[in-house]
Structure 1
Amino acid sequence: MHRSILVVALATVLLAGCSRPATSESGRAAGPAATDLASGTRAVATIAEAFLSPMTPDDNIDSPASWQTPDGKVWLIATAKATDKLVVYDGSTGAHLRDVGSTGTALGQFDRPNGIAVVDDLLWIVERDNRRVQVLSLPEFRPLAVFGERELRKPYGLWVDKRSDGYTLYVTDSWVDGEDAEGNDILPPLAELDKRVRQYHVSREGDAISAQLAASIGDTSEAGALRVVESIWGDPKNDRLLIAEEDETYANEFKVYTLAGRFTGATFGRDVFKAQAEGVTLRTCGSEGWWITTEQGKGRSVFHLFDRHTLKPVGAFQGNTVANTDGIWSMQQPSARFPQGALYAVHDDQGVVAFDWQDIAGQLSLPLECGA
């Protein structure tokens, strides 16, 4: 999180599409959130959180990622920025399981861990103040490698694309040129914003991890520039890289790049977000799916869904409690507690919540059964 303002309501459209809509407990199709005909905006649905983890204000929780253990349990792993560690929760109940790591620069230590992702049995963590990416092996949390110190200046978020020859990693790098007299960040000029995202090619041989800088990404035009960046996610099937623009003086929106790092000219969300654009992830549904994004309201977070292909609004919801959300994570694997998966979200820098995907799909009339 860089800055935040208060949240209000937003807009949406109904998705046409994948298969049959989800049904409510009564067996009838659940309808979409109501439309405010007077204002032309759609009201935000309210969905009860499946759980709320214990609150630990001292940790300053930032981002979550989940991993399913070989015996079918779910671990929800979150970064704790202030205490330089990882907090591990039970992904079915939210119960605290353990903490991992300590403050420092050695392997297995952290300094301001921020973005996090799990791919295969690898846990990827961005450390803002160590200016690096660290890779650990699950389930032991065994540190395997660190890289990026020579290029990264103030990294925040990441997305990992698994490929046949290894992994492609994208890391946002949101350094500033100091502060003005009022304490506001001074952003670099447009011409210097061509390295807002770093792309690495990563290979693995057993426990040996090697990473090579492949590209530096960032448009320097007024429309395509990445001024304040943190959250990032990709869609290889549509050659899209979505990057949240968090500079509220310019726009709260998502910019659409190609995976090769070219700005497509497309942006979306500016007419929907009333507070800072934050977390982003992709929930697939066969060849269809939905981008899930976060509007980071101090009083209440709102989660907006956009069509995977058209990027048009599909629906929006909030929880009973969750607010001031930084990172989110979509777990699509079925589990005993969440047969259709779950959406995990950070709550107010202190813990995490879960939403059952069946509840989200039912409220927003999205299909549970998806085609190939």
Structure 2
Amino acid sequence: MSKNPLFSIAAALCLAACTTPATRSDAPPPAATAPATTAAPTALVPERYVSADNPGDELDSLATWPAADGRTWLIATAKSSHSLVVFDADSGERLRAFGHKGGGPGEFLRPNGIAVYGNHLFVAERDNHRVQVFELPGFEPLGTFGAGQLTSPYGLWIHEAAPGEYEVYVTDSFMEGEHYDVVPPLEQLDRRVRRYRVTFDDDGRRFRARDEGSFGDTSESMALRIVESIAGDPAQRRLLVADEDMRHASNLREYTFDGQPTGRELPAGTFEAQAEGVALWSCTPDSGYWVAADQRYPQTHFLLFDRDTLAARGSFMGETTAHTDGIALHAAATREFPFGALFAVHDDKAVTAFDLGDVVRALELDSRCAQ
């Protein structure tokens, strides 16, 4: 994501496996705006680590994967080096990089969105106009989809609809103008998010992807103008899409799984900068919090909202983390994070980690989130 609002376009991405199967209908609830609350001071939660800087990568989005050796991988897309960077999630140590510039299998052009489900890794490539699929841990290329439908894919979110069958949502932030910095007319913004049904064979190595169309509100007040981050909640059958266009008040907007806008968004002024990475923190099957990055400088503010009502539940910042693009929320215990961790990109050049137990204590959240 660029720090220029005209180019700043993002999922972040979040861990997709922390919720239960849905039982609700996709019928949109009555249009409403999340209730406002009196803002409390932003808490300071020191990072457990900040990785070594590597400005040449231009890191963007994050995903986690539990490796067989007991380590947890933190995988980041690196736009400028056209690669993926793997960190040890417990220490921030850089373990390896994978891929290089190109359009073939295992090659990338401006990889941006990333998501992991099981041993399958999905990467959205802006300039190859596709989503590439790999098998972990060897990063074996399994194929691609989206070419011919996607123009500028950015963010990814995945929901397992049935064993071996995924619903994949991809944000598509195509722009106009000589420098591709002009938001298209409203009537074209009904293609801001595209849905695919991806079905794997029993061996998990071959798949079929079916295009299930696109969606996006085209009204003046609720249109998705510049999009990247997207995340969902299967228990609520709710998608939250971040609109980063600060000229029209950057915000999170709600859709149903079948692409219907509900008319719900956060109160105006919730984000002082751009709404960036979004993730669901599922503490129990039906409780928890949404976490979103407000891309401020000198410190990013991480905002928390009630999973059900979207009411504000506090905010925190680190001592260092700034200009955050992607985040990944890993709710499972790891070697160094017994209550899980929130990982964030710092200023395009490093990754940072916050202990979720520290966040629970600092914001006095539901104690079930730190058990």
After TM superposition, the score normalised by the length of structure 1 is 0.87
CA positional deviation for 1:269: 4.7
**d(CA) in 1 for partners of 2:255 and 2:267?**
15
Query: Which residue of structure 1 aligns with residue 217 of structure 2?
Result: 219
- The letter for the 2-side match of 1:363 is A
Cα distance between partner residues in 1 of 2:325 and 2:89: 18
1:365 — aligned with what?
Answer: 364
Report if the CA contact (8 A) 2:294-2:303 is conserved: yes
Q: Is residue 193 from structure 1 mapped to residue 189 from structure 2 by the alignment?
A: yes
1:11 aligns with none
Asked if 1:84 is matched to 2:82, the reply is yes
Q: 1:163 aligns with which of 161, 176, 183?
A: 161
After superposition, what is the alpha-carbon deviation per residue over 1:55-103, rounded to whole angstroms, capped at 9, x for unaligned?
1001100011111112321111100000000011111000010010111
1:272 partner amino acid = T
Distance apart, 1:2 and its partner CA: 4.1
Aligned runs of 1:1-372 on 2, under 5 Å?
Answer: 1-3=1-3, 41-165=39-163, 166-179=165-178, 185-205=181-201, 206=203, 207-286=205-284, 287-369=286-368
1:169 CA drift (Å): 0.3
Number of paired residues? 334
Cα distance in 1, alignment partners of residues 125 and 248 from structure 2: 27
Which shows bigger deviation, 218-227 or 114-123? 218-227
CA contact (8 A) 2:39 2:314 kept: no
Is the CA contact 1:4–1:276 (under 8 Å) kept in the aligned structure 2?
A: no
Unaligned 5+ segments in structure 2 are 6-37
Counterparts of 1:110 and 1:59 in 2: how far apart (Å)?
13
Give secondary structure in 1 for the equivalent of 2:235: helix
Q: Deviations over 1:99-121 (max 9, x none)?
A: 10111111111100001111111
Listed one character per residue, the Cα deviations across residues 209-242 of structure 1 (whole Å, up to 9, x for unaligned) are 2111012111111232111000000111112110
Q: Please state how far the C-alpha of 1:369 moved relative to its aligned partner.
A: 2.3
CA shift for structure 1 position 3: 3.9
Task: Check conservation: 2:360, 2:369, Cα contact below 8 A.
Answer: no
C-alpha contact 2:65 2:116 (8 A) present in aligned 1: yes
The 4+ residue runs of structure 1 with deviation greater than 6 A are none
Q: What corresponds to 1:19 in structure 2?
A: none
Cα distance in 2 for residues equivalent to 1:269 and 1:212: 36
Verify the 8 A CA contact 1:105 1:130 in the aligned structure 2.
yes
CA displacement at 1:184 relative to structure 2: 7.8
| Per-residue deviation, 1:178 | 1.4
Is the Cα–Cα contact under 8 Å of residues 126 and 134 in structure 1 kept in the other structure? yes
Percent identity over paired residues: 46
Residues 254, 261 of structure 2: 8 Å contact kept: yes
Partner SS, residue 369 of structure 1: helix
In structure 2, the CA distance between the partners of 1:274 and 1:114, relative to structure 1 (3 Å rule), is: same
Task: Supply the AA of the counterpart residue of 1:196.
Answer: R
- Tell me the CA shift for residue 4 of structure 1: 5.2
